[in-house]
Amino acid sequence: MMGEFIIELKGLQFYSFHGLYEEEKKVGGEFVVDALVKISSNHDKVSSIKETVNYAEVFQIIKKEMNHPRELLETLTQSIAEKIHSKFSAIKEIEVRVAKKAPPILGFKGTVAATYRNTF
């Protein structure tokens, strides 16, 4: 029997220094990360972490990438996705979203985000 698992990490909060502008690089800001991975499963019953994706390891990858400043959210999301996929080659689809809570845009209230999606 062939099935599919979706593993999600949602609402991960980080204080990081990503941004295009000098002020963002100095002061930093709040970011929220969501990651979704899909894997195929041909196991009748998954009973080992080796048969799935270890979300604790996915979190560590995201955390490390969030501590490496990038100018663009697009670069960051793509890098996170590539690192996760290189660690877990069983992943068939991945989606990573990074939202910046308070972008330095005069009069702007809300968040901005970039999402990267890929299938393998």
* Active site members: 100
Spatial distance between the Cα atoms of 35 and 8, rounded to a whole number of angstroms:
6
Contacts of 89 (CB under 8 A, 6+ apart): none
Helix (H, G, I), strand (E, B) or coil at 63: helix
Spatial distance between the Cα atoms of 110 and 21, rounded to a whole number of angstroms:
18
Confirm if 79 and 70 have CB atoms less than 8 A apart: yes
Confirm if 25 and 17 have CB atoms less than 8 A apart: yes
